[in-house]
């Protein structure tokens, strides 16, 4: 048998010398290094979140947590339907990296601060933390962390049922043990709304709920096609009651008070494009014990009234967070890689592309925070109450649509390296499309905007008044807004066929207004000229701006 010779240590591997390759991104504070975010916190009067934001920014920007996020997405959750002797257990095992991420998001109050603080604009403050966490890992922060945050108003609306879990949902001590909720330090929340035959049309659901006679306890039987975070302690889901009064909403505990597993049978885990650290499953409910929360037959209304705004606002800002990390990754790579005699970042074509991406990212961030502010201020300001209804679906639609284009362009800035899974940009590109689907597709957002205009026509006026706060700040902007007003009048009685086009126009007008009022002239002018004035080829890197303004925009976007 022949034996391969051992390589001589004296010969070395000259062809393996690594040159002209970007170093690992150093430890950075994603909060302190973000000029746009720092300005937003100061401007909106939410300095109270700064201590948590500094801590979160340091964790999310560390090499340690980038590595942990990579492992959590590489080592996928594993389903164990039975134990070693054949008993049904329906367990999903996660890698320790996932649990470490969950523990830190809980410790940093990303799921709870909006409901526990007494400070001004609590949702906006929480949005800062959510935005930062989305720059490192999305499967943990979006769901179940996002669900654990958004379910709180629903629990508070029905204390008789909700108080059983409320304090545990708000706990900052993450507890992954598979125990009855009453024995745990905290509980996590999953969600199961859709079924195979209905998808977004929840009224088509067929899961049945039969009352046990024990107050508001029911037995649920049916099939749920998408159950996000199936290892959560409680799962929020929809079902019909036997008198068919419409869809009701229920809380299903995974472990019962007697320590037995509830009749929730996981059929399989979904193989997904992205969001791979988080399990998504398909389940059968076989007389599973559940508790109705809210009014019978009005579950969809209860869900929309108490939860939809918070989930959609989170998805808007989550997408903005992904855009932010894509841009900073592209800037880092091109800063440290040379071609044609200089760094790639300094080449005119690349500088144009990076600036274009930075403008898109900042515009997404500002509109994301504007909807968070509207949610906070809706209680005291009529204009924000109207904006809260109509602008949230528009921002959710637009940010969640644009994020994929940003991650794709940022990936290309990395060249062939960007296509390799070792680079985080590949993971973020796979993650990007999900937010467009969660909590309503683009078509659903269009229908929601149409309903808002029909139910409260004055919401359209509030939208235009907000946009026109920047009137006179840019000639492209002024012309664009005048045309937008005319188009809104023309399609007001037949909005649905034009919904996507009009949401796109409204979103860009709002972003232009916010940038004129809140950003630097170089960013605002370039956005208005390109997105509103037609001085753009609908592709990144086609700004008509050249020279020093481009460099200033890119420098502004780089983490300090």
pLDDT at position 7 is: 53
- pLDDT exceeds 70 at position 9: no
Contact of 523 with 362, CB cutoff 8 Å: yes
Q: What angle do CA 200, 202, 206 make, to 5 degrees?
A: 125
- Exposed, middle or buried, 69 (CB in 10 Å: 0-12/13-18/19+)? buried
- pLDDT exceeds 50 at position 281: yes
User: Which residues fall within 8 angstroms of residue 512, CB to CB, at 6 or more apart?
Assistant: 363, 467, 470, 474, 476, 477, 480, 524, 527, 528, 531, 532
pLDDT at position 8 is: 53
Contact of 316 with 399, CB cutoff 8 Å: yes
Token look-up 């919401």 returns 459
State how far the Cα of 110 lies from the Cα of 306, in Å rounded to an integer: 19
* Beta strands 189-192 and 234-241, pairing class: parallel
Strand, helix or coil for residue 259: coil
State how far the Cα of 101 lies from the Cα of 432, in Å rounded to an integer: 19
Cα-atom radius of gyration of the chain, to the nearest Å? Answer: 25
Q: Token pair for residue 282?
A: 């398909």
Which ranges in the chain are annotated with CATH 1.20.140.10? 301-557
- CA torsion through residues 308, 314, 316, 322, sign: negative
| Average pLDDT of the residues in 461-466 | 96
In the chain, % of residues over pLDDT 90 = 88
Which ranges in the chain are annotated with CATH 2.40.110.20? 181-297
DSSP state of 255: B
Q: Token pair for residue 380?
A: 């005291």
The domain made up of 181-297 is a member of CATH 3.40.50.620: no
**Angle 458-467/499-518 helices, nearest 10 degrees?**
40
Q: Model confidence at 246, in pLDDT bands (50, 70, 90)?
A: confident
3-state helix, strand, coil in the chain (%, to 5): 55, 15, 35
pLDDT, averaged across the chain: 94
CA atoms within 13 A on the CB side of 233: 24
Q: What b/e readout covers 206-223, taking b as 16+ CB neighbours within 10 angstroms?
A: ebbbeeeeeebebbbbbb
Q: Token pair for residue 451?
A: 């309903």
Task: Give the pLDDT confidence of 483-521 residue by residue, as tens digits.
Answer: 999 999 888 788 999 999 999 999 999 999 999 999 999
* 288, containing H or E segment: strand 280-292
Q: Model confidence at 200, in pLDDT bands (50, 70, 90)?
A: confident
Domain 301-557, CATH among 3.30.300.30, 1.20.1440.230, 3.40.50.300, 1.20.140.10? 1.20.140.10
| Average pLDDT of the residues in 348-355 | 97
Q: Model confidence at 1, in pLDDT bands (50, 70, 90)?
A: very low
Token look-up 């980038």 returns 66
* 390, containing H or E segment: helix 382-413
User: Which residues fall within 8 angstroms of residue 51, CB to CB, at 6 or more apart?
Assistant: none
State how far the Cα of 271 lies from the Cα of 273, in Å rounded to an integer: 7
- pLDDT exceeds 70 at position 522: yes
- pLDDT exceeds 70 at position 531: yes
Task: Give the pLDDT confidence of 128-174 residue by residue, as tens digits.
Answer: 999 999 999 999 998 889 999 999 999 999 999 999 999 999 999 99
State how far the Cα of 504 lies from the Cα of 397, in Å rounded to an integer: 8
DSSP state of 261: B
Contact of 94 with 71, CB cutoff 8 Å: no
- pLDDT exceeds 70 at position 6: no
């Amino acid at each position: 048998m022949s034996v391969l010779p051992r390589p001589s240590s004296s010969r070395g591997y000259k062809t393996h010398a690594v040159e002209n390759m970007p170093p690992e991104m150093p430890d950075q504070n994603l909060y302190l290094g973000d000029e746009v975010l720092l300005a937003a916190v100061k401007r909106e009067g939410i300095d109270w979140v700064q201590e948590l934001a500094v801590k979160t920014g340091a964790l999310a920007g560390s090499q340690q947590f980038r590595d942990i996020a990579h492992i959590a997405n590489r080592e996928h959750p594993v389903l164990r339907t039975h134990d070693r002797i054949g008993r049904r257990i329906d367990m999903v095992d996660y890698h320790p990296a996932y649990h470490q991420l969950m523990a830190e998001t809980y410790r940093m109050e990303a799921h709870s601060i909006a409901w526990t603080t007494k400070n001004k604009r609590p949702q906006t403050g929480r949005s800062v933390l959510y935005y930062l966490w989305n720059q490192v890992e999305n499967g943990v922060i979006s769901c179940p962390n996002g669900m654990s945050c958004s379910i709180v108003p629903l629990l508070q609306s029905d204390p008789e049922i909700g108080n059983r879990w409320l304090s545990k949902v708000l706990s900052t001590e993450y507890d992954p043990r598979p125990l009855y909720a009453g024995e745990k330090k905290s509980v996590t929340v999953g969600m199961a709304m859709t079924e195979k035959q209905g998808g977004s049309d929840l009224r088509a659901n067929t899961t049945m709920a039969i009352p046990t006679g024990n107050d508001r306890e029911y037995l649920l039987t049916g099939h749920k096609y998408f159950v996000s975070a199936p290892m959560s302690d409680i799962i929020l889901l929809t079902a019909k009651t036997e008198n068919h009064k419409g869809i009701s909403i229920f809380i299903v505990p995974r472990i019962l008070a007697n320590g037995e597993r509830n009749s929730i049978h996981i059929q399989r885990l979904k193989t997904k494009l992205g969001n791979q650290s988080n399990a998504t499953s398909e389940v059968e409910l076989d007389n599973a014990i559940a508790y109705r929360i809210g009014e019978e037959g009005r579950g969809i209304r209860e869900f929309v009234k108490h939860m939809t705004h918070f989930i959609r606002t989170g998805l808007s800002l989550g997408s903005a967070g992904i855009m932010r990390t894509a841009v900073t990754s592209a800037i880092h790579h091109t800063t440290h890689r040379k071609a044609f005699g200089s760094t790639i970042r300094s080449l005119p074509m690349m500088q144009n592309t990076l600036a274009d991406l930075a403008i898109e990212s900042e515009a997404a961030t500002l509109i994301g925070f504007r909807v968070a502010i509207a949610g906070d201020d809706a209680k005291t300001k009529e204009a924000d109450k109207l904006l809260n209804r109509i602008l949230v679906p528009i921002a959710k639609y637009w940010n969640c649509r644009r994020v994929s284009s940003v991650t794709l362009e940022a990936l290309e800035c990395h060249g062939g390296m960007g296509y390799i899974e070792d680079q985080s940009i590949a993971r973020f590109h796979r993650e990007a499309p999900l937010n467009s689907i969660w909590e309503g597709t683009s078509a659903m957002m269009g229908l929601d905007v149409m309903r808002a205009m029909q139910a409260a026509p004055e919401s359209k006026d509030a939208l235009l008044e907000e946009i026109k706060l920047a009137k006179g700040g840019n000639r492209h902007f002024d012309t664009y807004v005048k045309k937008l007003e005319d188009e809104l009048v023309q399609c007001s009685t037949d909005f649905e066929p034009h919904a996507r086009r009009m949401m796109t126009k409204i979103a860009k007008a709002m972003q232009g207004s916010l940038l004129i009022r809140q950003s630097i002239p170089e960013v605002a002018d370039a956005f208005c000229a390109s997105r509103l004035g037609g001085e753009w080829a609908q592709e990144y890197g086609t700004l008509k701006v050249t020279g020093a303004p481009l460099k200033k925009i890119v420098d502004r976007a780089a983490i300090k």
